[in-house]
Amino acid sequence: MPLLAGAEPLRHEGGKVAVLLCHGFTGSPQSLRPWAEYLAARGLTVSLPLLPGHGTRWQDLRLTGWQDWYAEVDRELRALRGRCATVFVAGLSMGGALALRLAARHGDAISGVMVVNPANKVHGLAAYALPVVRHLVPATKGIANDIAKPSSEELGYDRVPLHAAHSLRTFFRIVDRELPQVTQPLLLMRSPRDHVVPPADSARVLSRVSSTDVTEILLEQSYHVATLDHDADRIFEESLAFIGRLAPGFGTEPALGMEGTTAGG
């Protein structure tokens, strides 16, 4: 299937400090593209991959599972580690869970973690019915586009395939067990008015990680997709400051254009 316009992955070759960004469930790189472009313009090497089953049509997501999504970001991380001295991981929603698992499994290979409204659990009674219902009902209503800013819109599926949601539930349980292995500095940014991921998820992450350098920031003006919302600039600036503190000397001056940026893979 052809990609939806705007769902293309983004890769930019900058300096020796890199950031791997992970998008959310049923979303696409579009939700993180402004963040990725902001970091790339300041001289960082940036990778924003498209997760398998995303960016085309929801039926394609039905054929994938958490192993596919995690394998994609794991490959990207290993590629970045091969050419950059310092690597940070970041993510929105399920992408936050992917970033946290990368941190748990790769240890010192990752210098810091930045997450926005990280998801930790599939909530509600429906979650317990998923093992059975997914065989009877192909999909339910979508979760994309929870944004307060009227002029902003997320490119995501309008349906959630239940086979994939069941796999996501399994993945969250795995990540939750591994959170104590996360020791890196953590920047967690969350929206109190999030209609997709409740505050309990961020609280759970903060209570489970072993990181001692932890910063929590409230995004008061935004909903779930805060990277496209009123607090987007704050996310970008706080993440750059976080990287600058942990990787001093990488430089925060804008790069000369973004000639190394590619939309394709």
The radius of gyration computed from the CA coordinates of the chain, to the nearest angstrom, equals 17
CA nearest to 161, candidates 179, 149, 174, 143: 143
Helix (H) or strand (E) holding 188: strand 186-190
For the question of residue 28 being annotated catalytic, the response is: no
3-state SS assignment for residue 11: strand
**Torsions phi, psi for 48 (to 5 deg):** -130, 85
Q: Which of 28, 93, 191, 211 is catalytic?
A: 93
For the question of residue 31 being annotated catalytic, the response is: no
Q: Which of 47, 191, 224, 239 is catalytic?
A: 224
What DSSP assignment string belongs to 72-115?
A: HHHHHHHHHHHH-SEEEEEEETHHHHHHHHHHHHHGGG--EEEE
The distance from CA 104 to its chain's CA centroid, rounded to whole angstroms, is 15
Q: Which of 146, 194, 201, 231 is catalytic?
A: 194
For the question of residue 194 being annotated catalytic, the response is: yes
Active site residues: 93, 194, 224
